[in-house]
Amino acid sequence: MLSASFIPVYSRLLAEGKHEEARRVAGAVFGLLAVVAALISLLGVLLAEPLTLLLAPGFRGRPETFDLTVSLVRILFPAVGLLVLSAWCLGVLNSHRRFFLSYVAPVGLNVVQIGVLVGGGLALLSGGLAPGQTDADAQARLVTWLAVGTVVGGGLQFLVQLPTVRRVASGVRPSLRTDLPGVRQTLRAFGPVVAGRGVVQISGYLQLVLASFLAAGALATLRYAQVLYLLPVSLFGMAVAAAELPELSSAGTEQRATVARRLQSGLTRIAVFVVPTSVGYLVVGDLITAALFQTGAFGRLESLAVWLVLAGFTVGLLATTSSRLLQSALYGTGNTRTPAWAAALRVAVSLGLGVLLMLQLDRVAITPDGLRLLGDLPALTPLPEAARAAAADERLLRLGAAGLALAAGAAAWLEYLLLRRAVRRDLVPTSLGGGQLGPIVLAALVGGAAASSVRLVADALPPEVSGPLAALVLAAVYAAVASALGVTEVRAVLAGLRRRLPGGC
């Protein structure tokens, strides 16, 4: 998110041939970010307890959960500082049209995390429990090791990009200069850009705050669904927006034809991937969640609960991903205020509607026998603490988290409409899906219908087979139908795949 306030300034300087000034701005931004990241990390360590109270007030009545969360916050904040510096590297590399390394670098973080979990888990299994130690104690040790591994992985994610940054932007020297025009412009844009670009994360954090007041299990259900929801947002929405930001910044408002072409192409590219993903989440989302999560204590009911929450998020998935590209177009012109206001309205509507829906749906539960109403409606207050805690021992899952997700999905369309109006007013006309939304949706619906046929054999297959099988059927049918309907982006992807097959067939 932080790089989005830096890339337009740095890219414009490079496009104008002002390489020395660009290097000075990059060095000053790095120095300032390093100081701010260090201070934020220190404050996070020192203020872990009040921060936990602020972000998860519902944990106040669960001492063991609260204490462990505080400990993890203290460990993880230095990792946040390292990831801020990694974002600076991403900004430099993207401005030089080097996209692969900056987006593959997080793999280093993931590898360390997985290694810690596997190694730590094997060590705990081989060593057994110490006298007086419970399974919960062992799990707390493992998650603490994971937090330490996250700090190490964050450092690796930053360091692996540094040599390439030094090569493409040779001569960059860290400083704390704020008198450079490019630095002042970056700093002025910083707050609005973080508000606009980080709306998904900001909204997600506030949803977690609200979910801490719901029945036991709601917080975990929301987090599982957020993982799947954020995957296409990052893969398709943020990736396309990040790739286009340097180009749109270089074009500015002077080259309207170029801006229009890139926006329409980017919106089509987003829709090509996001629409079938949305259909998959809505139609066979339970098979997908079961394939990823259903093991141990995570059973069929839990998969259904995550699916319903994911469906709520999915309502706004195309709007969220398309909005990221529209933000890039506005940032390229120096307009950071409109995305910030649109994001603020989105968050306000999401939270207001979310509170209303979550209180009602927390009285509705999934049971082995179907949906049951457990409480009086309409509801204006959270469940009593005893009822919230009892949900963990009952064989049911309340749906309060689904209300939060549905509100977030609906609010995403408000943000999109506000951004589209601003882009049309200040730049060029745009259309959802880049003008090819009709055939894309039709192909995705046909693919979704084909994927539904997997349900006929799903009970005879393990979840880790039926989920990928449904996704594969949907992707294959969607690609074939979209190509037949003339969707250019799909045809281009298929042509690229054919060239990579043996013999180029």
Place of tokens 């039926």: 466
What 3-state DSSP class applies to 315?
A: coil
Order of strands across the sheet that contains 397-398:
370-373, 364-367, 397-398
Answer yes or no: do 175 and 204 share one domain: no
Identify whether 464 is part of a domain.
Answer: no
Identify whether 280 is part of a domain.
Answer: yes
pLDDT category at 7 given cuts 50, 70, 90 is confident
Examine the pLDDT at 357 and tell me if it is beyond 70.
Answer: yes
Answer yes or no: do 290 and 349 share one domain: yes
Give me the pLDDT at residue 144, please.
Answer: 92
Answer yes or no: do 9 and 92 share one domain: yes
Residue 319 has phi, psi (to 5 degrees) of -65, -45
Strand runs labelled E in 25-135: none
Tell me the DSSP string of 383-421. Answer: PPHHHHHHTTTSS-EE-HHHHHHHHHHHHHHHHHHHHHH
Question: What percentage of the chain carries pLDDT values higher than 70?
Answer: 92
What 3-state DSSP class applies to 372?
A: strand
Place of tokens 């601003």: 422
Structure tokens at 262: 């890139």
Domain stops at, among 160, 188, 216: 188
Q: Per the structure, how many domains does the chain have?
A: 2
Answer yes or no: do 57 and 174 share one domain: yes
H or E segment and range at residue 477: helix 463-484
Tell me the DSSP string of 430-449. Answer: --GGGGTHHHHHHHHHHHHH
Buried b (16+ CB within 10 A) or exposed e, 208-221: bebbbbbbbbbbeb
Answer yes or no: do 80 and 220 share one domain: no
Q: How far apart are CA 32 and CA 5, in angstroms?
A: 13
Amino acid at 438: G
Domain stops at, among 386, 415, 433: 433
What 3-state DSSP class applies to 366?
A: strand
Answer yes or no: do 176 and 274 share one domain: no
- Structural domain of residue 294, as residue ranges? 198-433
In tens, the pLDDT along 206-233 reads 887 887 777 767 788 888 998 899 889 8
Q: How far apart are CA 432 and CA 416, in angstroms?
A: 10
Answer yes or no: do 163 and 210 share one domain: no
Per the prediction, the chain carries an average pLDDT of: 85
Identify whether 474 is part of a domain.
Answer: no
Cβ atoms of 494 and 443 within 8 Å: the answer is no
Domain stops at, among 373, 401, 433: 433
Structure tokens at 415: 């943000």
Examine the pLDDT at 349 and tell me if it is beyond 90.
Answer: yes
Cβ atoms of 52 and 59 within 8 Å: the answer is yes
Answer yes or no: do 346 and 214 share one domain: yes
What DSSP designation does 233 have?
A: I
Answer yes or no: do 339 and 207 share one domain: yes
Place of tokens 């795949």: 497
Strand runs labelled E in 299-399: 364-367, 370-373, 397-398
Identify whether 505 is part of a domain.
Answer: no
What 3-state DSSP class applies to 314?
A: helix
Give me the pLDDT at residue 503, please.
Answer: 59
Give me the pLDDT at residue 470, please.
Answer: 94
Q: How far apart are CA 189 and CA 327, in angstroms?
A: 13
Total count of residues recorded for the chain? 505
Among candidate residues 437, 433, 438, 407, the one with its CA nearest the CA of residue 420: 433
Among candidate residues 30, 22, 3, the one with its CA nearest the CA of residue 176: 30
Among candidate residues 369, 353, 228, 352, the one with its CA nearest the CA of residue 301: 369
In tens, the pLDDT along 162-203 reads 999 989 888 888 888 888 888 888 888 777 777 776 766 777
* Cβ neighbours of 34 (radius 10 Å): 16
Identify whether 484 is part of a domain.
Answer: no
Among candidate residues 65, 227, 81, 86, the one with its CA nearest the CA of residue 151: 81
Residue 371 has phi, psi (to 5 degrees) of -80, 140
Question: What percentage of the chain carries pLDDT values higher than 90?
Answer: 32
Q: How far apart are CA 179 and CA 415, in angstroms?
A: 35
Q: Which of 21-25, 309-313, 380-384, 453-457 has the lowest mean pLDDT?
A: 380-384
Answer yes or no: do 405 and 378 share one domain: yes
Kindly give, in sequence order, each residue whose CB lies less than 8 Å from that of residue 220, ignoring residues fewer than 6 positions away: none
* Cβ neighbours of 100 (radius 10 Å): 9
Among candidate residues 450, 444, 451, the one with its CA nearest the CA of residue 478: 444
Amino acid at 158: F
The model's pTM: 0.76
Answer yes or no: do 354 and 400 share one domain: yes
Answer yes or no: do 171 and 217 share one domain: no
Nearest-5° angle of CA 363, CA 385, CA 139?
Answer: 105
